[in-house]
Amino acid sequence: MPSVHQAADRHLASQDTVLRDLIAQLELPEIHSSRNLFHDLMSCVIEQQIHYRSSKQQFAKLLLAADIQLLTPDNFEVFEEKALLRTKLSVRKYETIAAVLEFFHDDAPDWAQMDDTEVSKTLGGIRGVGRWTVDMLLIYTLGRADVFTADDYHLQQIMSGLYGLEQQGLKAAMKSIAEGWKPYRSFGLRYLLTWNEAEKRKQ
């Protein structure tokens, strides 16, 4: 039986000529996810990017300063005292951090038992947590196969170039193209981002 990745490659190549060429050229990097939504959500809030997609590494430096590998509600106080309080963040970010901490201090749901819509609705209900952040967590932390975000700036630039899309109505055009990728939109998105990183390395 083919793996999800193999099935995704076959489907995407059959539906999209741009992705077909990229799939022939590229290997998707393995996602080294913490599988911990609290840890990754905090990295998104602090870094404005999920930590293993970021080049800034601010979150990693804070964890190192606090001598913490995996951030949890239980060790957050240590993280705050040893690292976070010495960091300049906006008031809005601190408010979001407080909202995330409050949510996870209660009984967090069993994310594995929730579908994508349920996860989006639940996380999106936390003050300051937007759709882009939720989509990144669905793809990179929970490993969901069929997530697409037209709000990712880098993805907008990539698709406007590769697919010849105009800026006017860009998000609608992106979503229309991604319709053909279902039920493997996450893989299509990741191929485009991987291609972009490979192009940067050539420069």
What is the share, in percent, of the chain residues with pLDDT greater than 90?
A: 75
More confident residue, 156 or 51: 156
Token digits of residue 110: 């069993």
At 155 the pLDDT is: 94
Class of 37-141 in CATH: mainly alpha
Rounded Cα–Cα distance for residues 63 and 112 (Å):
26
Taking only the tens place, the pLDDT of each residue in 8-29 is 999 999 999 999 999 999 999 8
**pTM for the model:** 0.90
By C-alpha distance, which of 12, 7, 30, 36 is closest to 22? 12
**Residue 1: which pLDDT band, with cuts at 50, 70 and 90?**
low
By C-alpha distance, which of 90, 87, 83 is closest to 128? 90
Q: Please answer whether residues 66 and 78 qualify as being in contact, where contact means their C-beta atoms are separated by less than 8 angstroms.
A: yes
SS3 assignment, position 145:
coil
Torsion of CA 73, 77, 81, 86, to 10 degrees: 30
Rounded Cα–Cα distance for residues 108 and 38 (Å):
10
Integer Rg of the chain from CA: 18
Break the chain into its structural domains and give their ranges.
Answer: 4-30+147-202, 37-141
pLDDT at 55 over 80: no
Q: Please answer whether residues 128 and 45 qualify as being in contact, where contact means their C-beta atoms are separated by less than 8 angstroms.
A: yes
Q: Output phi, psi for 163, to 5 deg.
A: -105, 0
Fold classification of 4-30+147-202 (topology level): Endonuclease Iii, domain 2 (1.10.1670)
Rounded Cα–Cα distance for residues 148 and 43 (Å):
20
Cβ burial 74-106 (10 Å sphere, 16+ → b, else e): eebeebbeebbeeeeeeeeeeebbebbbebbee
**Residue 108: which pLDDT band, with cuts at 50, 70 and 90?**
confident
By C-alpha distance, which of 157, 95, 154 is closest to 127? 95
